[in-house]
Structure 1
Amino acid sequence: MTFRYRYLWAAVILLAAAAAVVTLYEPDGSRAQPTDIREQIMTRMRTTLEQSTPEQHQHAGHGTGQTATDPAVICGVRVYGFEPAEATTLAGVRTVYGFHLCGVAEPERPWDVAVKLAGPVILDLSTDPPGIQVVEATAEVKYVDRLRQMFPERYAQLALTQALSEPEMAELRRRYDDAAGL
């Protein structure tokens, strides 16, 4: 090997090592989880919300109005984090903190006028079916205070500033349109 190629290989190795280090950490500086577990959690979260009954998935006393023959609930989700944070398999995850935006897909009803349910959500995966808790204000407790009561601080800050990512929102709209026959 010539001297020039040794430097090329050294540069390639350094770039690969730098890429590996970058993928180990989230933007907030916390250690990143393997992509596959986050994707598994997102899938489980979406499936749980889409299969929940109106009683399980109510916001401020407003159910979806669904019966067994009504259209589907189509959801987009964002995972802020999960506990225990060191879990490496979906089976090891007990609690998921995130955001959801769901629309009731009725035939020929466009997204803009669909019934929607949205906001920070906590899923308890230690129960069957998983428990669903949404953040809601009460007569005594403001919304932001209730959010901080329910979410660990590191996830509460995300819940106050982040909703669905652009790709997740685009996928939600595509799935909604398919379900509504648009």
Structure 2
Amino acid sequence: MPRLFIALDLPEDVVASLDRLCEGLPGVRWSTSEQFHLTLRFIGEVDQGLFYEIGEHLAGVSHPPFEIGLKGLGQFPPRGAPHTLWVGVEDPSGALPTLRRRIERVLEEVGLEPERRKFTPHVTLGRFRSPPPEPRLASYLFHRNLFRTERFPVSSFGLYSSQLRSEGSRYTLEASYDFVAGVAERV
């Protein structure tokens, strides 16, 4: 059964900037450049029939193109032992939550339960194998917290499958959905 999520792909120059952040902190399994994305909605495992139905319904999501940038670093959870290190998102037009709501509506139409967690747009830099010493993490975040990318255009999103492996997840783009043309392209 495919394990699915919906995400925005990132431009190569943004990925290169993120790659440079992935060092200098022990106990982290860093994301690879192929793993960087901005998740709009995690779906999970679905059967083949629902997989195709999701793919078809996502083609009906329309949204005007917009721009976002990446800005700042943080951790999940914000307090306590961290498990995820992330880069935040700058969304001056407020378009991401609108796009996410449109996607959520389509997923509910095919019978998926709505996402209950608060949407916190981010790009995962890495996951902690074990929590680093607090001073080390604080120093890492402090020295990189001014991280910022130029804004970049967003005019599509993708449906991805994920295969869990011991060395980290492997993501495959299953279909791409273009805002402008309003078409889906199976990959």
- Pairwise same-fold verdict (TM > 0.5): no
More strand per residue: 2
Give the number of the structure whose alpha-carbon radius of gyration is greater.
Answer: 1
Calculate the TM-score normalised by the size of structure 1.
Answer: 0.26
Greater relative contact order (CA < 8 Å, ≥ 6 in sequence): 2
Calculate the TM-score normalised by the size of structure 2.
Answer: 0.25
More helix per residue: 1
